[in-house]
Structure 1
Amino acid sequence: MNPTYEIRSGTLAGFNTLVPQLGGSPARLLAAVGLPVDCVRRPDILIPLATLVDLLNLCVCELNCSDFGLRLAEMQGLRMLGVLGKLLLGEENLDAALGASHRYMVLHNQADHWRLAEGNGCLIARRVSHSDGAKGSEQYSELALGAACRLFRELAGEDIRPRQVHLRHSPLSPPQRYHEYFEAEVLFAQEYDCLVFEVELLQRPLKAPSESLVQYFEEFTRALLLEHRGDVAGQVHTLILQTLGAQQHSLAQVAQLVDTPVRTLQRHLRAAGTSFKQLLLEARMETARWHLRASNIGIGLLSASLGYTDTSAFSKAFRTVHGRSPLQWRKQQR
Structure 2
Amino acid sequence: MFNKPPMITAMALGQMPQFAAAELGEKKAETALQAAGLSPYFLEGRCGYIPEHSLAEFIGGVARRLGYDGLGLLWAPYLTVADYGTWGRYVLSAPDLGTALRRAQKEMQLHSNTDRVHMHVGYNVVTYSYDFGLKGHPSYPDIAYSAIAVILSIHRHFLGSRWSPLRIEFNIPKISIVSRIEETFGCPVSFGNESLRILFPSHTLGQPNPNMTQCGQVSRQDILRERVIGPPESLVQSTQDLILAQLSEHSISLDAAALSLGMSVRTLQRHLNDEGVSFRGLVNDALMHRARELLAVDGNSVGQVAAALGYSSPNNFSRAFSAFFGMSPRRVQKVQL
1:173 deviates by 5.6
Residues 161-199 of structure 1, C-alpha deviation per residue, up to 9 Å, x if partnerless?
111101111245611111111111100111211000101
- Residue 7 of structure 1 corresponds to 8
Letter in 2 for 1:78: V
Residues 58-116 of structure 1, C-alpha deviation per residue, up to 9 Å, x if partnerless?
11110122221233332121323212333445432111222223333332112311111
Residues 247-306 of structure 1, C-alpha deviation per residue, up to 9 Å, x if partnerless?
3x3xxxx6xx9xxxxxxxxxxxxxxxxxxxxx87x94xx337x246699xxxxxxxxxxx
Structure 1 residues 108 and 86: alpha-carbon distance in aligned structure 2, compared to 1, 3 A threshold: closer
State the distance in 2 between where 1:104 and 1:96 align. Answer: 12
Q: How many residues align?
A: 232
State how 1:75-224 maps to structure 2 within 5 Å: 75-171=78-174, 174-208=177-211
Structure 1 residues 29 and 40: alpha-carbon distance in aligned structure 2, compared to 1, 3 A threshold: same
Letter in 2 for 1:6: M
Contact 1:78 / 1:155 at 8 angstroms: preserved in 2? no
Contact 2:100 / 2:154 at 8 angstroms: preserved in 1? no
State the distance in 2 between where 1:42 and 1:17 align. Answer: 11
Contact 2:5 / 2:234 at 8 angstroms: preserved in 1? no
Contact 1:43 / 1:82 at 8 angstroms: preserved in 2? no
Task: Note the residue ranges of structure 1 that are not aligned, 5 or more in a row.
Answer: 215-242, 258-278, 296-331
Letter in 2 for 1:14: Q
- Residue 30 of structure 1 corresponds to 33
- SS at 1:190's partner residue? coil
State the distance in 1 between where 2:202 and 2:19 align. Answer: 33
- SS at 1:196's partner residue? strand
Residues 196-228 of structure 1, C-alpha deviation per residue, up to 9 Å, x if partnerless?
01011110112349xxxx9xxxxxxxxxxxxxx
Contact 1:6 / 1:49 at 8 angstroms: preserved in 2? yes
- Residue 248 of structure 2 corresponds to none
Contact 1:138 / 1:169 at 8 angstroms: preserved in 2? yes
State the distance in 1 between where 2:92 and 2:153 align. Answer: 15
Task: Work out whether 1:57 is the aligned partner of 2:60.
Answer: yes
Contact 2:18 / 2:43 at 8 angstroms: preserved in 1? no
State the distance in 1 between where 2:51 and 2:61 align. Answer: 15
- Residue 261 of structure 2 corresponds to none
State the distance in 2 between where 1:172 and 1:294 align. Answer: 38
Identical positions, percent? 18
1:158 deviates by 1.5
- Residue 298 of structure 2 corresponds to none
What is the aligned counterpart of 1:66 among 48, 52, 69? 69
State the distance in 1 between where 2:180 and 2:140 align. Answer: 19
State the distance in 2 between where 1:10 and 1:49 align. Answer: 12
1:125 deviates by 0.6
1:6 deviates by 0.8
State the distance in 2 between where 1:158 and 1:11 align. Answer: 21
State the distance in 2 between where 1:71 and 1:177 align. Answer: 10
Task: Note the residue ranges of structure 2 that are not aligned, 5 or more in a row.
Answer: 238-273, 277-337
Letter in 1 for 2:66: L
Residues 124-174 of structure 1, C-alpha deviation per residue, up to 9 Å, x if partnerless?
111124445345422212211222122321343123211110111124561
- Residue 221 of structure 1 corresponds to none
- SS at 2:24's partner residue? coil
- Residue 305 of structure 1 corresponds to none
Contact 1:165 / 1:196 at 8 angstroms: preserved in 2? yes
Structure 1 residues 207 and 134: alpha-carbon distance in aligned structure 2, compared to 1, 3 A threshold: same
Query: Which of the two has higher C-alpha Rg?
Result: 2
State the distance in 1 between where 2:186 and 2:150 align. Answer: 14
Letter in 2 for 1:141: A
- Residue 310 of structure 1 corresponds to none
- Residue 251 of structure 2 corresponds to none
Contact 2:98 / 2:206 at 8 angstroms: preserved in 1? yes
State the distance in 2 between where 1:158 and 1:13 align. Answer: 18
1:47 deviates by 1.3
- SS at 1:74's partner residue? helix
State the distance in 1 between where 2:236 and 2:134 align. Answer: 11
CA RMSD across the alignment: 3.2
- Residue 230 of structure 2 corresponds to 287
- SS at 2:230's partner residue? helix
State the distance in 2 between where 1:333 and 1:73 align. Answer: 40
- SS at 1:114's partner residue? strand
